Amino acid sequence: MSEAGLQAARQKMIDAGVSTPAIEVFTRFYHLLESGETGVIREDTIEPLLDPPMLADVDITDAEAREAIGKTVIIKLNGGLGTSMGLDKAKTLLPVRDGMNFLDLIVQQVLAARERYDARLPLLLMNSFRTDEDTLAHLARYPELPVEDLPLSFVQNQEPKLRADDLTPVEWPADPSLEWCPPGHGDLYPALEGSGVLDALLEAGFRYACVSNGDNLGAAPNATIAGWFARSGAPYAAELCRRTVNDKKGGHLAIRKADGQLILRDTAQTAPEEMDYFTDEHRHPFFHTNNLWFDLQNLRDTLVERNSVLGLPLIRNEKTVDPTDSSSTPVIQVESAMGAAIEVFEGATAICVGRDRFLPVKTTNELLLLRSDVYNLTDEGKLVACTDTSPEISLDSRYYKTVQKFAERIPQAPSLRKATSFRVEGDYTFGTGVVVKGDVTLPDAGEASTVEDGTRLEG
C-alpha cells in the first residue's frame, strides 16, 4: 500500500515540476516515515552542550575578516507567511520602524556592509511560491542590490501532504493548493542545489554562506564571524546565544550519547512530557539562533557524493489538510530543519554570539518591543538595544494576536525603556506619548478602554 503511496507522491511531484534533488530527499523521508520513525529525540539519549567557543574571545585580524566577508553570501529564509500573526503574505513585508519593513532593513544592513568592507556581498532570499512575487516586487526599488548575474531569490520546493491513515498523497478538490506543503527550512540545501544557485555562487567566486531567519534583524552581516568561520576551516557552524528564562521556544544543540555527535533538537522533536527539560535554561544553557554558516564548496561536494540527499533527521508534523478546519482529513507533513545539518557535516561546530544577533519577531509582543524606544535604529539598518535587559511583554492574545488588531489598538508604541514588564489583559487602545515604567499590568476592565495621550503608567 505505502509503496503505491510513495509512487503516487513521486509522480505528483514530477507532474508539478519539482526538482530531482527535492524528490530524492522526500523519498528518503517517506521511507523513514514508513519504518515508524517519529524524529523524537529523548532526553536520556543526549548530553547538554555546556562550553561552546565564545565570539567575544575570537581574535581575527581586519584583513582576515575582510577577506572572508568578501567571499560571503547572505541568505535569508523568507518562505513563511507569518500566519501566527494573522498575515497572509511574507512576514518580512511587515513595517518595523520609520515606515521600513524587515526587507528594507535587511537591504540597508547589506548595503552598509558592502560599503564598509568593500565587499560584493550578495543578498539571496529563499522564498516560497507564496512569498516570491511580493518580495521581488518590493526589492525592485533597490536597483543597486543585484550582484552580477546572481538572482535575488530562489524558490523552495513543495511536497504532497500525506494521508495519516495510509501515507498516500491527500486529495482535496475543494482547494487543491492545500494538498501541498513546504518541506520546512531543511529544504534550503536541495533548493539551493536544484535551482542552480549553488553552482552560480561557486562560479562567481563565493565560498561561504551566512543564513538566517528573515524575521531576525539581529543577524546582520558580520565580518568577524566570517573571519572566524574561514579560519576554523569547518564545513559548517551554528550561532548560539546564552539562554534566559524567557527563551522557551526554538531549538538547542546537544551531544548525542551514542556517538558524541553534536545535534540539534527542535521543539517538534521533543516529546510533550519532556518539554520541561527542553525549556530548562540551566540544563540546556544555549539556544540555537538559526544563524548558520557553511562552506559552499563543501556543501556541493557532499551533495554530489550523497546523490543530493544530505540525510537530515525527519520532523513528522501531524496536521489536518485544511489547517483552519480541525475536522478535515488528518495528514502528515514531512519536514526538516536546516540547523539539523550540524550532524551531517563532519567537523561542524558552533559559536556563542551576543544577544544582539538574535532579535526574532514571532509574535506582536516582540514587534512592539522593536517598534519601541528600547531599540535605536542606526543608519546601517541595525536595531541596537539601549537597555541591558528587555522588558517582558505580554499582550492579551484576544485583542493583539493579529497584526491588524494590534495596529488598530497600538498605532504608536509606548515608551518601554524604563519598563521591566508590561502586561495588557483586556482590550485597550493606546494614545500617543504613553510611558511605561517598572512592572505594569493593565487589568481586564471587561470593556474596551482607552489609554489617553501622554499617560504615565508606573508599577
Closest CB 80 distance from ligand UPG, rounded Å:
2
| Residue of the chain from 288, 371, 405, 409 that contacts ligand UPG (CB under 6 A) | 288
Binding residue count for ligand UPG, defined by CB under 6 A? 25
Q: Does 350 bind ligand UPG (CB under 6 A)?
A: no
Query: What is the distance between the alpha carbons of residues 136 and 148, in angstroms, rounded to a whole number?
Result: 17
From the list 197-205, 212-220, 276-284, 382-390, the region that binds ligand UPG by CB under 6 A is: 212-220
| Residue of the chain from 41, 65, 223, 337 that contacts ligand UPG (CB under 6 A) | 337
Concatenate the DSSP letters of all residues of 64-88 into one string: HHHHHHTTEEEEEEE----GGGT-S
Residue showing cell 482547494: 175
Judge contact between 215 and 106, C-beta under 8 A. no
User: From the candidates 319, 362, 418, 437, which is the catalytic residue?
Assistant: 362
- Of 116-135, binders to ligand UPG (CB under 6 A) are 126, 128
- Residue 368 CA: distances (Å) to CA of 10, 49, 393: 44, 32, 8
Q: What is the x/- site pattern for ligand UPG, positions 5-44, by CB under 6 A?
A: ----------------------------------------
Answer yes or no: 362 catalytic.
yes
Q: Does 182 bind ligand UPG (CB under 6 A)?
A: yes
Q: Does 80 bind ligand UPG (CB under 6 A)?
A: yes
Closest CB 114 distance from ligand UPG, rounded Å:
23
At position 125, the amino acid (one-letter code) is L
Which residue from 357, 194, 195, 210 is spatially nearest to 295, judged by alpha carbons?
210
Concatenate the DSSP letters of all residues of 86-103 into one string: T-SS-GGGSEEETTEEHH
Residue 127: Cβ-neighbour burial (10 angstroms; 0-12, 13-18, 19+): buried
Q: What angle, rounded to 10 degrees, do the helices at 62-69 and 223-232 form?
A: 90
Query: What is the distance between the alpha carbons of residues 331 and 320, in angstroms, rounded to a whole number?
Result: 5
Q: Does 390 bind ligand UPG (CB under 6 A)?
A: no
Q: Does 190 bind ligand UPG (CB under 6 A)?
A: no
From the list 78-86, 136-144, 199-207, 377-385, the region that binds ligand UPG by CB under 6 A is: 78-86
Q: Does 160 bind ligand UPG (CB under 6 A)?
A: no
Q: Does 219 bind ligand UPG (CB under 6 A)?
A: no
- Of 361-380, binders to ligand UPG (CB under 6 A) are none
At position 293, the amino acid (one-letter code) is W
Q: How many CB atoms lie within 10 A of CB 322?
A: 15
| Residue of the chain from 72, 153, 158, 213 that contacts ligand UPG (CB under 6 A) | 213
| Residue of the chain from 290, 336, 349, 363 that contacts ligand UPG (CB under 6 A) | 290
| Residue of the chain from 185, 207, 284, 357 that contacts ligand UPG (CB under 6 A) | 185
Q: Does 227 bind ligand UPG (CB under 6 A)?
A: no
Concatenate the DSSP letters of all residues of 232-250 into one string: HT-SEEEEEEE--TT--SS
Q: Does 414 bind ligand UPG (CB under 6 A)?
A: no
Rank residues 23 and 230 by Cβ distance to ligand UPG and give the closer one. 23
| Residue of the chain from 287, 293, 294, 345 that contacts ligand UPG (CB under 6 A) | 287
Which residue from 196, 222, 219, 195 is spatially nearest to 208, judged by alpha carbons?
222
The set of residues, in sequence order, having a beta carbon less than 8 Å from that of 153 and lying 6+ positions away, is: 78, 124, 125, 126, 127, 132, 135, 136
Residues forming contacts to ligand UPG in the complex (CB under 6 A) are 77-80, 126, 128, 156, 182, 184-185, 187, 213-215, 250-251, 264, 266, 287-290, 337, 339, 360
Q: Which residues are catalytic?
A: 362
